[in-house]
Amino acid sequence: MGRPIGIFDSGVGGVSVLREAMALLPNERFLFFGDNAHAPYGAKAPEEIRACVRAVVDELLSRDVKALVIACNTATAAAAKDLRAALSLPVIGMEPALKPAHALLHGGQILVLATPATLHMEKFRLLMERYGEGAVPVEGRGLVECVEAGHLDDACAASALQSVLAPHLSRPTDAIVLGCTHYVFLRRALSRLVPGVPLVDGNAGTARQLRRVLEAQGLLETAGPGSCELHTTGDPARFLPLMERLLRA
């Protein structure tokens, strides 16, 4: 049996990336860790985020993972550079999918929905310099908490999205970037609020990059059954059933 791939996030949002990776890499073993006890990362200072990430990564390394996927835009911005410098195994990160959304620009705006921490880090500033024409950063305050509580497509989710997006919807909108893996689980509620507006995330691209890296380094499993283990730093009775539900969503 091959070594597993470690995937982690501040909470349950990274299950959206895990889902893509499992579909693309059906022969791989996956270990997913949600740091639910410390979610959300998006309101924390960078050094606090890095401390949370180090603790989760140490746990995954103790389980002999062959690669790490940071299924969190905020954690990638805060910690990916340091992890790559310190570790010999592949580290795959994420960034808000502004590049593919930019291709959809046709005279309107592109709303980049992300956590406050993601939007205020250097990585996002550089992304905006390259692909930021027409882009409007929008802090998704309260949205991670909605998903962590299992409110995906109800009045609570609709109210939170309305509060965040209403100030920006008076202008034509060409696309909305879901710059946090949690937000992917709010797609249905978002589609009702902004019908017809493309919702763009980076999950499939992250899974494809993982496959490319594993293949290039001779680490790709091409036979045998795949598997998935779900772990949380929070209350297992609360979060593991939610992760299972999201994995099937």
Answer whether 5-94+203-248 and 98-200 agree in fold.
Answer: yes
pLDDT digit string (tens) for 173-183?
Answer: 999 999 999 99
Per-residue pLDDT tens digits for 152-202: 999 999 999 999 999 999 999 999 999 999 999 999 999 999 999 999 999
Q: Which of 52, 146, 180, 228 is catalytic?
A: 180
CATH code, residues 98-200: 3.40.50.1860
- CATH number given to 5-94+203-248: 3.40.50.1860
Please determine, for residue 1, whether its predicted confidence score (pLDDT) is greater than 80: no
pLDDT in tens, 43-78: 999 999 999 999 999 999 999 999 999 999 999 999
Buried b or exposed e, range 92-103, using 16+ CB within 10 angstroms: bbbbbbbebbbe
- The structural domains of the chain, with segments of one domain joined by +, span 5-94+203-248, 98-200
Q: Give the DSSP H/E element, type plus range, for residue 126.
A: helix 122-131
Q: Residue type for 32, please?
A: F
Burial of 52 (0-12, 13-18, 19+ CB in 10 A): buried
- 3-class state of residue 20 by DSSP: helix
Cα Rg for the chain, rounded, in angstroms?
17
List the catalytic residue out of 72, 146, 156, 228.
72
User: For 110-137, how does the pLDDT look when each residue is reduced to its tens digit (9 = 90+)?
Assistant: 999 999 999 999 999 999 999 999 999 9
**Sole residue written with tokens 């205020």:** 120
Give the pLDDT score at 91. 98
- On the question of pLDDT at 104 being above 90, the answer is yes
- Give this prediction's pTM: 0.96
- Burial of 45 (C-beta count, 10 Å sphere; 0-12/13-18/19+): exposed
pLDDT at 63: 97
Contact 80, 71 (CB under 8 A): no
Tell me the percentage of the chain whose pLDDT exceeds 70: 100
Rounded Cα–Cα distance for residues 73 and 95 (Å): 5
Output the pLDDT for position 249: 83
Q: Is 72 a known active-site residue?
A: yes
